[in-house]
Amino acid sequence: MTSNTTNEIDIVRASTSKIDAVDFENLTFGNIFTDHMLICDYKNGAWEKPLIKPYEPFLIDPSAKVFHYGQAIFEGMKAYKDENDAVWLFRPDENHKRFNHSAKRLAMPEIPEEIFINGLHEILKIEKDWVKKGKGNSLYIRPFMIAIGTGVIAQPSTQYRFMIILSPARSYYSGEVKVIIAEHYSRAANGGIGAAKAAGNYSAQFYPTKLANEKGFQQIIWTDDATHTKLEEAGTMNLFFRIKDTLYTAPTSERILDGVTRKSLIEIAKKEGIAVEVRSVLVSELIEASKDGSLMEIFGAGTAAVVNPVVGFSYQDTYYELPKLENSFALLLKEKLTNIQYKIDDDTFGWTVKVK
């Protein structure tokens, strides 16, 4: 191992790399990790100096509050490599802002920009060879924070650990995606933590999603907790509905995550002259539009999936298939977005940030 220090970060480099043993053409999402990770602890009311070190397990006390009271948040981001071998981030400021929103909601300390953003740049400079060129290739970035303070008393921790780990990625979903509309289970409730990217939000989805999988569906379209009449999110994705030639998506709220991909697609759609309405969409509207032929598309949007079309949905044991379109908004918007991310087209929005 070799060590060096920047002004803000200590760096211990791995003596060897495992990159040559990785089959980048056959990756399972989120299973392979790069040679290094960033770690930074919060103790005595302040953040310590970050450290980039070889990726490895670490010890943690069995009474750490993350195990008992669920103080755990994370983000999902990607790095992309252009044809000139430059590495780019996509709207990292939005991820940093959302991370701190999640931290505040779970009574965790906010992470300073110099640790979050500078940490991203430093670790990506070290791991740049793990970012492969070509559309569909990326390096998935997982910043997260957990409560490491000890004791089983039910109160917020006083010690936390912020980390960044990296995983080479290709597409998240494969094959056709069919969804079932939730009639009983809820993803989140008003006043809850649905708008935070908290670990508990995802574990709560696993059981109802398992039931949906057993019926042949890949994901659930979540509905509002009070009436189950308003369409919200699907699994790990924000949702868009195309009725005739207008795109509809639910507004962000205490129940719905403020997706970076979602807000980017809205801006791209408007620039392309596509009508977009941000409002609640009712289950009854969707059924009626499907029956009269005006429902053209449903697609999910998220960092991992980017854009993922839905081929059909089920509600009250009736299955509704969507038409196959040549002029798909989903595919158009996906191409426009990924062309910006991979620096194929000009970034007129100013979203991409070069890793230097």
Q: Which domains does the chain have, with CATH numbers?
A: 2-169 (3.30.470.10), 178-341 (3.20.10.10)
Residues of the chain whose pLDDT is less than 70? 1-7, 171-175
The helix (H) or strand (E) run that includes residue 146 is strand 138-147
Cα gap 90→353, rounded to integer Å:
6
| 183 class by beta-carbon count within 10 Å (0-12 exposed, 13-18 middle, 19+ buried) | exposed
Which pLDDT score, from 0 to 100, does residue 4 have? 66
Which pLDDT score, from 0 to 100, does residue 143 have? 98
pLDDT digits (tens, 9 = 90+) for 214-267: 999 999 999 999 999 999 999 879 999 999 999 999 999 999 999 999 999 999
Please, are residues 55 and 37 in contact by the beta-carbon 8 Å criterion?
Answer: yes
